[in-house]
Copies of this chain bind each other. A is one copy, B any other.
Amino acid sequence: VNEFELINNYFKSNASLASSSASDVLLGIGDDAAIVRLGERRLVVATDTLNSAVHFPVEAKPEQIATRVVAVNLSDFAAMGAIPHWATLSLSMPNTDEQWLAAFSHTLLKSLLAYDVQLIGGDTTQGPLSISLTVMGESKKDNLLVRSGACVGDDIWLSAYTGLGKAGLDKVLSGNGLPKNKLKKLTEQEASFLVDQFYQPVPRLQLGQRLLGIANAAIDISDGLLAEAEHLATQSQCVLTLNQPSIPVHPILSTLYNQDQQWQAILCGGDDYELLFTASVDQRKALNDLSKEMCIPLARIGQVDKADNQQGDKVILLDQLGRSIEINEKSYQKGYLHFNA
């Protein structure tokens, strides 16, 4: 299943036609979230759905599912620099498991409140376990972080590390055993760190809001670094050139993986919920200062180039000698493959 194609082919083309005529729709389908005008304010809306056995293993605990669905949704807000306020929940569950429901609802509400988000409504129905959260909030400034704002000459920045979501998932899928690809034994702390990467990723809400006025475009990289870079490039009609040696490697990845697997996780792993953004060159000092102030590593990993109609590549990956590394779908699987696919 390629969910992007699904959305692009049908909903985007049809809906954009309809939405473009509605002056209250500032940003419709196709970005991290939608933005509409309500009076003097701007309403931001994002929806994400997690299905059992597709987005989390059937063994996942209710608390883990709750923290994950909140983080995944709020990451869309982070990528817009928007402030989340309210959420509605659609919960389908096969039967009335009160213990499950108590644990899930408690953690969900606690997680939402930690980000000042109120659960205001929802629908609980019978069906295969599925959790869909719609988060609403607002953007207070004019300079929103949309995917289409990247300018030729911009630096490309990445918050923290990628690959940890994939590593976390590998750990989760291995249960109490060893991750499939692991090269040496993990400490208990390392194992727990990895599981949290998958079930409790931290949405970069504050960073996103601080990037307003600094960054020109942003996207969260839930679907993998290269895939999201391609989305940004497509919507900004430019080329993103990434320098592989500048892309940070979290030390735990070399514990888990060989060189190939490590780069596979970093470039294509997905589930990372970090921000990929572009900013003009004169923002370097501001961003380095922000990185220190917020204690979030911000790495400059490339630059935005003019779209080359001859070649057609949206994302170019360069090695330490500036040579282009071939990105083919076989060696670097683009985008997020749900783990049962």
A interface residue numbers (CB < 8 A to B): 1-3, 5-7, 9-11, 14-15, 18-19, 22, 24-25, 28-29, 33-34, 36, 38-41, 43, 45-52, 54-55, 85-86, 88-90, 92, 95-96, 98, 101-102, 105-106, 109, 113, 118-128, 130, 132, 134, 136, 138, 338, 341
Contacts and interface: CB of A to CB of B under 8 A. Distances in A.
Contacts of A134: 45, 47, 88, 90, 134
B38 A126 contact: no
Given A124-B7, A125-B49, A126-B51, A40 B39 contact: yes
A120 B15 CA distance: 7
A19 B85 CA distance: 11
Q: Which 6 pairs show the lowest CB-CB distances between chains A and B?
A: A51-B127, A34-B120, A34-B121, A39-B41, A10-B105, A90-B132
A46 B86 CA distance: 12
Contacts of A24: 85, 118
A221 B173 CA distance: 45
Contact of A127 (B11, B54, B88, B122): B54
Given A51-B126, A88-B45, A28 B98 contact: no
A15 B118 contact: yes
Given A39-B39, A49-B132, A98-B9, A122 B54 contact: no
Contacts of A128: 51, 127-128, 130
A1 B49 CA distance: 22
Contacts of A130: 51, 92, 127-128, 130
Nearest to A86: B36
A290 to B, nearest CB: 29
Of listed A22, A38, A95, A113, residue having the most chain B CB within 10 A: A38
Nearest to A130: B130
A119 B29 contact: yes
Contacts of A341: 126
Nearest to A88: B47
A4 to B, nearest CB: 9
Contacts of A18: 109, 113, 118-119
A54 B130 CA distance: 14
Given A24-B85, A119-B29, A55 B14 contact: no
A19 B47 CA distance: 21
